[in-house]
Amino acid sequence: MASTAAAKSPVTIRLCGPRGFCAGVDRAIQIVVLALKEFGAPVYVRHEIVHNRYVVEGLEAKGAIFVEELDEIPPEHRKQPVVFSAHGVPKSVPADADARNLFYLDATCPLVSKVHKQAMRHHRLGRHVVLIGHAGHPEVIGTMGQLPEGAVSLVETVEDADVYMPPDPDNLGFVTQTTLSVDDTAGVIKRLHERFPNLTAPAADSICYATTNRQEAVKQAAPGCDLFLIVGAPNSSNSKRLVEVALRAGAKKSILVQRASEIDWEAIGDISTVGLSAGASAPEVIVNEIIEAFRERYDAAVELADTVEENENFLVNREIRHVELTAADMAFVNGE
């Protein structure tokens, strides 16, 4: 054993902080767990509660059933709760739930709800709303669905901003998806302002604190990294942005992985410094799993690369606030 340990190559793992779950994701998962404790299985969830298969499968094991639309809930379960995902939903979804006499718990992240309110305020003040975001993302669908059809225009890139033709160039307000690249979004906003000087910003930044903090931590840690691993799902916007940020900030290579089993150890090559972070919907247990996988193969030393401390906490819905949440309830994502 001693000779095997001696043969391991040394590797430094720069472990970013903050990383992983943000307050909105933590709250959404807690809502499903608490609903299961209070009302029993099944609890239905419309769309993935957060973009992470490990989390979804962990909740399924506890009795959650994931559906894409409310008409998939069978008549015999109409009295069971249905939870709306952290990404937010169009206004048509709670209206549909009311029409079906369903009891629902809205797990929309409060910071996404803030963007909804910003968009509605622009609209109320007579402005056409420009939403900077990614087409087809659930959060974008939810934000556009807060306002009448045609009231919101989606702009994804600087190139889109170059050709965008608004109904009234002097009466525009913008909001953004919460999980975008801070740098990319700044470029789009700059171009829109150049073309439309009267463009009105929201009252507060739409990109959420967690997205900004995780990107900043990765920026600080990336220079000198031979490899930067981001834990997250392929459909997680904020996780994919972290891969891009790591490469721009100086990492030689950056890849997105959902589990340690996805790492191609043969392709890694000769490495001495590895960056490690996790998107806002990626659980800490997988970060720990990846560190252990490195320790099995390398003489790995973990170096903390912390930038700011996060202490945000969002309350769960009033209907389930009285239910006790224990560490054991959340061990499937947080570890023991």
Annotated active-site residue in 72, 139, 216, 309 = 139
Is 16 one of the annotated binding-site residues? no
The response to whether 22 counts as a known ligand-binding position is yes
Query: 105 — phi, psi (to 5°)?
Result: -120, 120
Class of residue 172 by CB neighbours under 10 A (exposed 0-12, middle 13-18, buried 19+)? buried
Q: Rounded to whole angstroms, how far apart are CA atoms 38 and 58?
A: 18
Amino acid at 125: L
Gap between the Cα atoms of 98 and 96, Å rounded: 5
Is 193 annotated as contributing to ligand binding?
Answer: no
Q: Is 134 annotated as a binding residue?
A: no
- Three-state secondary structure call for residue 330: coil
Nearest of 40, 15, 43 to residue 29 by alpha carbon: 43
Q: Annotation-wise, does 171 bind a ligand?
A: no
139 annotated active-site:
yes
87 annotated ligand-binding residue: yes
Phi-psi region for residue 231, left (φ > 0), alpha (ψ -120 to 50) or beta?
A: beta
Let me know: does 213 contact 240? Beta carbons within 8 Å. no
Q: Is 137 annotated as a binding residue?
A: yes
Where does residue 160 rank: exposed (0-12), middle (13-18), buried (19+ CB within 10 A)?
middle
- Known binding residue 238? Answer is yes
CB 32 within 8 A of CB 325: no
Which residues define the annotated binding site? Answer: 22, 51, 87, 109, 137, 178, 208, 236-238, 281
Binding residues for dimethylallyl diphosphate: 51, 87, 137, 236-238, 281
Known catalytic residues are 139
Annotated binding-site ranges for [4Fe-4S] cluster: 22, 109, 208
